[in-house]
Structure formats: structure tokens, C-alpha cells
Amino acid sequence: MTFSAARLPGRRALLLSMALWGASVLPQVAQAQATAFTQSLAASASADEAIAEWYRSTGYETLWTGPEDAERRAVFLTAIASADLHGLPKARYDVAALTAALGAAVTEGDRGRVEVEMTRAYLAWAHDLSSGALTPKDVDGGILRDITRPDPQASLRALVADPQAALDGLMPTSAVYVQLMKAKLDLEAQVATGGWGEPLAMVTLAPGDTGPDVVALRDRLVRMGYLSATATASYDRALQAAVQGFQLNHGLTADGSLGEGTILEINKTPEDRLKSVIVALERERWMDIDRSVKHVWVNLPDFKARIIDGGRVIFETRVVIGKDVPDQRSPEFSDEMEHMVINPSWGVPRSIVVKEYLPLLRQNPNAVGHLQIIDGRGRVVPRGSVDFSGSFPYGMRQPPSDGNALGKVKFMFPNPYNIYLHDTPSKSLFDKEVRAYSHGCIRVADPFDLAHELLSWQSDDAEAEFEAALDTGRETTVKLLKTLPVHLVYFTAYPDTKGRMTYRRDVYGRDAAIFNALSVAGVESPGVQG
């Protein structure tokens, strides 16, 4: 039977009319609201293709602003509240601003815009925490490290699958990173309590000295944790040992005396050290490496090369790094050591040929007689046939010899930068505290010991094998049966194997540039100004 509302008595007809209106209009209202949300979301996401792609692929499902998204919202807002702990620019993912925007979202258009803001903040957080807030090469052209950036779609899929696990998995997993975070908190506590006291006067001291300058030194070392408190005013053995401990932790000559270099380092404030730690945290976020495998670790400001196996140092030697001039600073990168060359020839880099040797040869064709002129096929060209006054389409090479610039052995990890480890005839440079004298390559103080160590992994008599090749006087390439990761790094703040923080001088000024860039990006820390 058919009927109409008009045939029903008064009130019943009205009620039925309202019900029929609601049944037809409410879906329309809901549809209009959904359309408004989708349009707002799509418009807000249009400036970021990664975000736009995600929402298109999910049919514009919410990540943050739906009633079912409460848990995901909560864990994310909790995570980004820790930005200061990591030394990250919290304004990029401002928890207070996002919370306020969520609370102020009244219309569907508001909700769409907040949805995108939350996603943009999450992707920034995932990017910065997992792989660094800065692009290294943009800060310093010598930082040639390849950075593995997270894929936005993969980051968002992980968030949907398990929000807490996705957020927990962003932080670097190295123990070093956790130790640096602790050091940051400790230094901030030192800043809050007034630091390490007044700086020392520029007065050199030695064991046996007495007086107020000795007391000031003692008090500062007590506050820094290197010495137990005592009432004596003499430079005794305990104070000498404390000074040596400080010197060892700061890359200084550990003679136990207070010289100018040691005074300058002791007078560094907690704020100064905090800058180094903040930079080290950023550098750790760039280090996508496996520290569990055996590797060579060359920390440039430390002037040391180490072989580390399972967290244990199994070999260590002093090194000389590149000069602090624009085109000779040693770069930072990672590669694989593949072979060594015993009795190497030195192929003179083109920059050295042009800048250093050609001017000499134009004045005197017989200059630098220890170097050969070679053509493009490596054949020696008689000097008498070369016109040094014009163009110079030749290379230069130093054959194997006792005075060869590369010494008796070089260690190769082929790379586009022509950087490697090698011996040197200039042994006196290893006695210096600051060892930045090369053209960029890494000179090794104990190259034979390094060769023996490397060969011992594939030979029953490494020393004899090395000496036999050395005695021939001929250039000999020895392939490593297993390649060895090599990491050229630059840390002015780093925990030692016992977890105690060590500090080094910023010999190239790279860390200062990184800290300034972090400050511009919005990184803040108590008591520290950019």
C-alpha cells in the first residue's frame, strides 16, 4: 500500500516528514563535510608531493585527526617533545603549536589543514632524527659523507602499522649516540649550576709549584671531576695525575704540567663543550655504518688511526692530516680498503704539479730532479723534449725510493678524492701535538705495523711476507682477501671505550660551521648561543 504524509493525521504526518527529510539530508551533510575536509587536505598537501602522494594513495584517510587516531597522535606528540634532548630544531615539529592547532580546528577545512601540518611535522622528525637536520655538503664541502635519507612513504607506512615502533626506530641505535645524549644532559646541568668556576690565569705551572694559581687549578679540576677535593696548595703527584688525565682526554701532550695549550683547553666552558656535543649528535645521525664489523677509524681532529673490532681497539697509530687550507683539508667519507702497495710510486696530484712544481721547472728545467715527467700512457718523457714555458700536458711521478713522498707503503681504499693512508719520510711531524701538514692524504706513523696487522688476517707469517716484498725494491700490490671499511670522521666530542667524554680542537673549524647552521635551523640549548 502506498501512502503520503499528507494523508496522515497532523503530528504523525509532521514527524514522518522530518524523518524522511533527515534520511535524505543528513547523508548530504556528511558528504559535504567529507568533501570540505578532502578539498582542504588536498590543497594543503599540494605543496609537498610526498604528502600529496600518500593521501591520494589512501583515499584521504586520516592519520591524526580522526577519532580512531588518538593513540597515534599521543605517541607522536610525546616523541617530538624530546627534540631538545637530541639537539634538534624543535620549531620544525613544534609540539605546542601542533597541540594548539588541533584544539583550534573547528571546521572541516581546519581539520584538513591540521592533518597535513601533523604529517609534515612527522616526516621532518623522521628525516632529522634518523639522518640529521642538515645536509653536510651544504655546510662544508669537505664533508663528503653519503647520507641515507628515509623514504617518506615507507616512514608513513611504518607509522600506520605500529606508531610506537616506528617512532622508536628513528633514533640512531649506536651506543655512542646514547652516551652523547647523556653528556648533553650532564653539561646542561653544569651550566645550570654555574659551570666549572673562574677561568685560570695564563700562568704556566709544573709539579712542585705552590700558591694561589695552583689552588685555582686544583679547584677547577675538582669541579670538572678529575680530582678529589683536598686542602693542599702544592702541585703534588695527585694534581699532576689529574692534569695528565685531562690532557689525555683532550688530545694534549700528557706531561702533567700546565702549559699554555692545556690552560686554553681547561678554560673552555661547559657551554663550549656543549656545542661540541650537539654537533657530535648531528654527526652521529649522519653515520649510517655498522660498528660491529672490523673497521679503520680515522678521527681527523684526534690525529689518530685505529682498527676497531667489536668495539675493541686492536691497533692504533698517530697520523698527520691535511693542512688547514681550503684545498688541502682532509675530507670526511667512508670507503673500503682493498689493497696495499709496497714500494709505491707517487703519482703527483695535478694540483701540486701546477701550483708547486711547474713554477720551479719554468725557472729551472732540472729542478725537482727526483720526479719523472710522464705522458698519458705512463711513459717517462726526457726533460729536454719538454717546453715548460707553455702548456703542460704531462704528469709527474716519483719512483720507489727511500725518499718517496709516500714512504715504503700505501693503503688504498679507491675513491674519487684520491685520498689514502701512507708512510712518509717526514717522521718528525709525528712528534707534534697538532699534526695538520699533508696535502690531504693521511700519513701514518707506524705503517709497517699497520701492514703487518692487515696481512696477519690472511698470512701465517705476515712480517716475512711484507719484508720479502719490501726487499725487492719493486712496486708490489698486495690485495686484501677481505675488504676493510675505512671511516674518515671528524668528532671534537666523543666517548672513549670506557664511556668517558673526550674532546679535541676544531682544527678545520668545521664543527663551528655546523653548530652555526644548527642554530640557524632553530636548535636551542640552555646557556648556548649560536
Residue 273 has pLDDT above 90, yes or no: yes
Q: State the average pLDDT over residues 261-268.
A: 97
- Which residues face 75 on adjacent strands? none
Higher pLDDT, 33 or 299: 299
Give the span between the Cα atoms of 191 and 200, in whole angstroms.
18
* 320 contacts: CB under 8 Å, gap ≥ 6: 303, 424, 426, 429, 430, 435, 436, 437, 438, 442, 443, 445
Give pLDDT tens digits for 154-202: 999 999 999 999 999 999 999 999 999 999 999 999 999 999 999 999 9
Give pLDDT tens digits for 189-203: 999 999 999 999 999
Which pLDDT belongs to residue 13?
42
Which pLDDT belongs to residue 213?
97
Which pLDDT belongs to residue 24?
44
Residue 6 has pLDDT above 70, yes or no: no
Give pLDDT tens digits for 485-526: 999 999 999 998 788 999 999 999 999 999 999 999 999 876
Which pLDDT belongs to residue 390?
85
Give pLDDT tens digits for 284-322: 999 989 988 999 999 999 999 999 998 899 999 999 999
In 3-state terms the chain splits into helix, strand, coil percentages (rounded to 5) of: 45, 15, 40
Give the span between the Cα atoms of 457 and 393, in whole angstroms.
42
Residue 16 has pLDDT above 50, yes or no: no
Q: What is the pTM of this model?
A: 0.89
Which pLDDT belongs to residue 496?
87
* 51 contacts: CB under 8 Å, gap ≥ 6: 45, 116, 119, 120, 123, 152
Higher pLDDT, 530 or 35: 35
Do the beta carbons of residue 140 and residue 330 sit within 8 Å?
Answer: no
Residue tagged 640552555 (cell numbers): 526
Which pLDDT belongs to residue 231?
82
Give pLDDT tens digits for 389-445: 888 999 999 999 989 999 999 999 999 999 999 999 999 999 999 999 999 999 999
